[in-house]
Amino acid sequence: MITEYDDPQRGREFAERTREFLDEVVVPKERSLAGGADVSRGTIRELRDAAREYGVYAPQIAEAHGGQGLTFREALPVFEVAGRSLLGPLALRVDAPDEGNMHTLELAGDDLQKERYLEPLVEGKMRSAFAMTEPRPGAGSDPKMIRTSARRDGDEWVIDGHKWWTTQGVEADVFIVLARSDPDAHPYEGCSLFLVDAETPGVEVVRNIPHMGGGPTGKSHAEVRFEGVRVPDEHLLGEEGEGFTIAQLRLGPARLTHCLRFSGVAERSLDVARAYLSEREAFGSRLADKQGNRFALVDAATRLHAARTMVRHAADLIDAGEEARVEVSMAKTYTAAVVQDAVDVAVQACGGSGIGKDLPLSDFYESVRPFRIVDGADEVHKRVVARELFADPPVDELEPLPTYREPGDAGR
C-alpha cells in the first residue's frame, strides 16, 4: 500500500530506485534461499555489489566516506523500503548495528578512527558491535549501573567488564564499548566509549546467546568478557566522559531508523496478506471479499500509517537540532507494537501458510518481537514520556480535580 509522506524529493526518488532494487534483486534472492540456512558471506557480497551497481549502496553515509550522501531526513524512506526484506538492510549497508556504529564514528570519530574503522565498515570489509548492556549486577535497562571499567595507565586504557546481548559480537572485528572511566563522577558523566579490536588480548567472546528471531540474516547476540584489555589513548571515541552523550546521539536516530526498517517489514507483510486473501476462497467467496478480513488489514494499515507519521515527526525535530527524546520514545514504543500487530494480522490472514516458511511471514514474526525490548524496553520509553507528562506542574502542585460535583453533593 502506497501512502505519500512529506519526505524530501531526493529521498523519495532514492527510495523508488531502492524499491526497484529490492523487487528485482533482493526479493528473488530471498526466494531462492526460502526457509534455508543462514545467508553466506558470499551472498551478502553479491547483493552489495548489485546495490553498488544500482547506485543505492550506503545511502546514509557521506560521499567522502564511500556512501551516497543522503541527509538523515532524505535517507528515512530508503530505510523503510530496505526493510521490506530481511536481506534489504544487509544489501544496502543500512543494517544494525553497523549502521548506528558508522553513524557514531561519523559523528564522534577523529580522522584516524574514520580511516581505520569507518571506511572499511562502509565498504563491508569490517563488522562492528556496540557493547553497552551487561548481565546482572551490571546495567540493563538502567544505564547508570554500568560496571565495566576503563582505567587510565600511562597512555593506555585498561578495560575490565562483562557485556551481553552484543549484536554481531561473534562476527565483529571491532567493538564500541561503553565503560566507566571516572568512578567518582556523576553516573551519567563518568562513562566513555572505546574502540576495541576483537583480536586484542583479553577480549573473550563467551557465546552466541541462543535467541528468537533474525531469520536468514543470522546475526549473533553475544556474551563478551573484557579482562585487562589494553587500548591506546587514540581508541577513545569522542571525549572522555562523553560516553552517554554520544551514545544518546547514536540511539535517538538509530531508534528511528530501526522503526522504519520494521515499518517496511510490516508493509510487506500486509502486501503478502492481501495477495493471499485475493487468491484464496472459502465459504463461497474470495477471502479478500469478506469484510472482516478487509477491516483487519485496514486497522493494521491505519496504525502503521500513524506510526510512520510519528517517526517522521520525531525525525524532523532531530533534523532541526532538537533531542526529541519524548517524541522518539513515543514513536519507538508505538511502532514496535504496531509492526508486531501488523505481522500478526498477516500471519492470521494467510492461515497455515502464514506459519510455514514458503512465505517470509514467520521469519518476520520472530524478527519483530524483540523490538519491544531492543533499543530500550517499552516500559523504559514510557518512563521517559511519563516524566515529561507529570513534570509540569509537578504532581504535588496540581490544581484540585475540577469536578462538577463533590462526593455527598445532593441531587443533580
Handedness of CA 67, 71, 74, 76 (dihedral sign): positive
Q: Does 370 bind ligand FAD (CB under 6 A)?
A: yes
The binding track of 16-45 with respect to ligand FAD, each residue x by CB under 6 A or -, is ------------------------------
The binding track of 94-113 with respect to ligand FAD, each residue x by CB under 6 A or -, is ---x----------------
User: Are the C-beta atoms of 215 and 363 separated by less than 8 Å?
Assistant: yes
Residue 38 Cβ vs ligand FAD, minimum distance, rounded to whole Å: 16
Q: Does 140 bind ligand FAD (CB under 6 A)?
A: yes
Q: Does 376 bind ligand FAD (CB under 6 A)?
A: yes
Query: How far apart are alpha carbons 206 and 149 in whole angstroms?
Result: 19
* Single-letter amino acid code for the residue at 350: C
Nearer to ligand FAD, 219 or 274 (CB): 219
DSSP, collapsed to helix, strand or coil, labels residue 90 as helix
Q: Does 190 bind ligand FAD (CB under 6 A)?
A: no
Q: Residues 44, 377, 384, 385: which binds ligand FAD (CB under 6 A)?
A: 377
Q: Does 131 bind ligand FAD (CB under 6 A)?
A: yes
With b for 16 or more beta-carbon neighbours within 10 A and e for fewer, the 137-176 pattern comes to: ebbbeebeebebbbeeeeeebbbbbbbbbbbbbbbbbbbb
The DSSP secondary structure of 176-217, one letter per residue, reads EEEEES-TTS-TTTSEEEEEEETTSTTEEEEEEPP-S--GGG
Nearer to ligand FAD, 27 or 337 (CB): 337
User: Are the C-beta atoms of 59 and 68 separated by less than 8 Å?
Assistant: yes
Total site size for ligand FAD, rule CB under 6 A? 19
Q: Are strands 203-208 and 221-232 parallel, antiparallel or unpaired?
A: antiparallel
Q: Residues 68, 166, 333, 362: which binds ligand FAD (CB under 6 A)?
A: 166
User: Are the C-beta atoms of 18 and 87 separated by less than 8 Å?
Assistant: no
Residue 297 Cβ vs ligand FAD, minimum distance, rounded to whole Å: 28
Contact residues: ligand FAD, CB under 6 A: 97, 130-133, 140-141, 165-167, 221, 370, 373-374, 376-377, 379-380, 383
